[in-house]
Amino acid sequence: MIELTGISRTHVVGGNPVHALKEVHVRIETGEYVSIMGPSGSGKSTLLHILGCLDRPTAGSYRFGGQETARLTEVELSRLRRHQIGFVFQFFHLVPRLTAAGNVELPMVFAGVDLEEREHRVRQVLEVVGLTARATHRPDQLSGGEQQRVAIARAVVMSPALLLADEPTGNLDSASGREIVNLIESMNQKGLTLVVVTHDQGIGERARRQIRLADGEVVSDQRRDGTGMAESGHPTSADGA
């Protein structure tokens, strides 16, 4: 489903080029559960942003569902994010003035889904995340875990193909964190492709496939069954290891 070939991303900071990603090659198949780990500054957020079509690579090719994203316009990318990709963030990013239901509804508003359909789907996903009773509460009336569940409901309400989670438990206590991980894993089991970015080993190692980054390069890519992917991958990233 996802095919990154030779992806590089260079920022210019204070006149000097900073290489956030260097020649990254990754393939992710539909239904996979991938964690991306690495210390801060390793480029994992940049990789997530590129996967989410929020950022464009400086070089290389990113094919999503067989389509080359570099050729898409900004509007087409927005449409792709809208229908194919769901985001979950560390700081939830709920709109403070909207209720839980209102936040969940938001992607459908931009997609122009009609009202009846929206109500129906909001009810459905809130039930999935177990927040039916909290539908009319505002974010400041919800606990951290509840807020993240609203965010997850919002991420999946458009039935995307890919769920990107950026440190989803980073701002939660361990009990709520576990609940959140269980929730997104259960969604993965129903076929949703899941990519989790984290620096938390405990969370990351739950994934069936673990990609480790350092200094903008993939240093290891392993499946939990023990099969090392690094060697079968591309020689450039292996050189960096």
Partner 1 sequence: MSFQDLFRLAWQSMWFHRQRSFLTLLGILIGIASVILLTSIGEGTRVYVLSEFTQFGTTLAAVNPGRIETSGAPGALGVTVNPLTLEDAAALDRIPGVERVAPVVMGAAEVEHAGRSRNVFVYGVTSSSPEVWRMRVRGGRFIPEMDWRRGAPLAVLGPKLSRELFGDQTSLGRHVRISGQRYLVIGVMQPKGQFLGFDIDDSAYIPVAEAGRLFNRLDLHEIDVLIANSSLIDTVVGRIKRTLIERHNMEEDFTITTQTGMLESLDRIIRIVSLAVGGIGAISLLVGSIGILTMMWISVNERTSEIGLVRAIGATSTQVLLLFLTEAILLSTVGGVLGLVAGIGLAQALHVYLPALPVSTPVEFVLLALIVSLLVGVGSGLLPARRAAALDPVVALTEE
Q: Evaluate whether 180 touches 165 at the Cβ level (below 8 Å).
A: no
* CB 42, min distance to partner 1, A: 16
Q: What are phi and psi of 63, to 5 degrees?
A: -105, 125
Q: Which stretch binds partner 1 (CB under 8 A): 45-53, 175-183, 186-194, 199-207?
A: 45-53
Q: How many residues bind partner 1 (CB under 8 A)?
A: 31
Contact letters (x/-) for partner 1, 134-173, by CB under 8 A? --------------------xx--x---------------
* CB 45, min distance to partner 1, A: 8
Contact letters (x/-) for partner 1, 88-127, by CB under 8 A? -x-x-x-xxxx---x---xx-xxxx---------------
* CB 198, min distance to partner 1, A: 16
- Quick one: 3 exposed, middle or buried, by C-beta within 10 A (0-12, 13-18, 19+)? middle
Angle at 233 between CA 211 and CA 86, to 5 degrees: 40
Nearest to 1 by CA among 40, 23, 27, 39: 27
Smaller CB distance to partner 1: residue 48 or 220? 48
* CB 133, min distance to partner 1, A: 22
Instruction: Write out the H or E segment, with its range, that includes residue 240.
Output: helix 235-240
Structure-token pair, residue 138: 């505002």
Nearest to 164 by CA among 56, 33, 6: 33
* CB 241, min distance to partner 1, A: 28
* CB 91, min distance to partner 1, A: 7
* CB 47, min distance to partner 1, A: 12
Per CB under 8 A, the list member of 19, 27, 82, 223 interacting with partner 1 is 82
- Quick one: 219 exposed, middle or buried, by C-beta within 10 A (0-12, 13-18, 19+)? middle
178: DSSP letter: H
* Per CB under 8 A, 3 contacts partner 1: no
Q: Is the backbone of residue 38 left (phi > 0), alpha (psi -120 to 50) or beta?
A: left
Per CB under 8 A, the list member of 19, 63, 79, 234 interacting with partner 1 is 79
- Quick one: 210 exposed, middle or buried, by C-beta within 10 A (0-12, 13-18, 19+)? buried
- Give contact residues for partner 1 (rule: CB under 8 A): 45, 49, 52, 54-55, 74-75, 78-79, 81-83, 86-87, 89, 91, 93, 95-98, 102, 106-107, 109-112, 154-155, 158
